[in-house]
Amino acid sequence: MRLAVVGLGKVGTPLAARAASRGHSVTGCDVNPDVIARLNRGESPVQGEDGLDEAVRAAVRDGNLEATTDTTTAVRAADVIVVIVPVLLTPDNQADLSMMDAAAEAVAAGLQKGSLVIFETTLPVGTTRNRLGPILERGSGLKAGAAGFALAFSPERVFSGRVLRDLSTYPKIVGGIDTASTERAARFYEEALGAPAMAVRDAETAEFSKLAELTYRDVNIALANEMALCAQRGGVDVLQAIAAANSQPFSHIHEPGVGVGGHCVPVNPWFLINGLGPAPMARLARETNDGMAREAARLLGEALDGLAGRTVLILGLAYRGNVKEPYHSAAFLLNDALRHAGARVLVHDPLFSHQEIAAHGLEPASLEPPPNVDAVVLQADHDEYRSMDFGAFPGCRAVLDGRNALSREDVEAAGVRYLAIGR
């Protein structure tokens, strides 16, 4: 097959490399010329993904993968077009579809009769059929369906750091605007990725399935956080209680923490809340999880007899450990909550330069030597933080383990008070 992948981000690049490794001719498309140049040199523009550097290098070397900024020309030569560009949130928590609309217009200008177009970015229900389909029709002069082009939605279902593995493992949910589109999209993924396909009734069902998956995770984490707050008031160690509860096969409670970050869980439930709502449980989960940063600041304030004039170090800008991705990181909410209480806030992350941290409006810190601080918050559980000597931080009186990743015994042996939500 001839495949065009529009959007060479954390999912698009691995998908392009995976399809190329199976012998298909793939053109990756992106608006960033630096991304295009890197890929055409055989370098992955996405870092931190196991096996991706090697897969890109081999695909480019074998002539199965190339990249261009000219999406329309690439689409004109493609049998299948997969679109994976970002959909972000507006300030009032609505889906910002501006980049997706622009990508659809570029695809439409080159779309040929008989082609298959699949959208993978998580979308509000109905977007594929009612918004993107008409953009493709207007720009191409073709009709969506049997007489023109096939159109389907298939949510990406991958985890940062292991995307290549997940692409060939998880069932690929597919739903089209008609039966023929669904069947064709299912065959495409089975052949291009070697993954099993799970066909659902239509594009709307496929769109909804992704929102259900992410909202479940958000609500589950919010429940764990609520339990942690209750356990804290009752003098109970919530992790032990959750582990005990989960020994029953019908209990699957997640772990509490100082917040939820990333491109998906803090973002996509809003597509359900504001798209098909009211969804009061999903809305409460968002408020609960975003409120954990304020609870962390409250705990530190109690431990330090107030935060005014104190210096607090946040370990980790990334939204989770060992992944260089700051999007919707709890570090931002922690920074705001601590500063609101009067603290000076420093931020360290081994994956980001001082300039990158400062570009987010945060004050960067070096650990060589460790700075003089009153407290430390573990926000991202990078490997190098797990065995850190907190006694080496001059003046440090408390460590708040926001990811339940540290040894209480080691922290207290260093002469520092250990704190954790619900512990």
Following DSSP, what letter does each residue of 120-159 receive, concatenated?
-S---TTHIIIIIHHHHHHHHS--BSTTSBEEEE------
Phi-psi domain of 293 (left: phi exceeds 0; alpha: psi -120 through 50; beta: other): alpha
Mean pLDDT for the chain overall: 97
**290, 313, 341 - which closes a domain:** 290
pLDDT band at 160 (very low <50, low <70, confident <90, very high): confident
Strands 417-419 and 150-153: unpaired
Query: In whole angstroms, what separates CA 372 from the centre of its chain?
Result: 33
Identify the pLDDT of residue 92.
96
Residues 93 and 195 in one domain: yes
Residues 31 and 151 in one domain: yes
Residues 19 and 164 in one domain: yes
Residues 50 and 186 in one domain: yes
**140, 174, 201 - which closes a domain:** 201
Domain total for the chain?
3
Residues 237 and 328 in one domain: no
Spatial strand order in the sheet of 80-83: 65-68, 25-29, 2-6, 80-83, 116-119, 150-153, 172-176, 197-199
Q: What CATH number did the domain enclosing 119 receive?
A: 3.40.50.720
Is the pLDDT at 35 greater than 90, yes or no?
yes
**168, 201, 234 - which closes a domain:** 201
Identify the pLDDT of residue 374.
98
Backbone φ and ψ of 322, nearest 5°: 65, 20
Identify the pLDDT of residue 266.
97
Identify the pLDDT of residue 151.
98
Residues 301 and 282 in one domain: no
pTM comes to 0.95
d(CA 398, CA 391): 10
Residues 263 and 362 in one domain: no
For residues 121-147, give the mean pLDDT.
97
Identify the pLDDT of residue 68.
98
Residues 148 and 278 in one domain: no
Identify the pLDDT of residue 203.
98
For residues 123-137, give the mean pLDDT.
98
Following DSSP, what letter does each residue of 74-103 receive, concatenated?
HHHT-SEEEE----EE-TTS-EE-HHHHHH
User: Which range has the worst mean pLDDT, 135-149, 159-173, 197-211?
Assistant: 159-173
Residues 299 and 243 in one domain: no
For residues 158-180, give the mean pLDDT.
94
Residues 185 and 246 in one domain: no
pLDDT band at 211 (very low <50, low <70, confident <90, very high): very high
Residues 167 and 71 in one domain: yes
Q: Which domain holds residue 382?
A: 292-419
Residues 36 and 140 in one domain: yes
Give per-residue pLDDT as tens, 310-346.
999 999 999 999 999 999 999 999 999 999 999 999 9
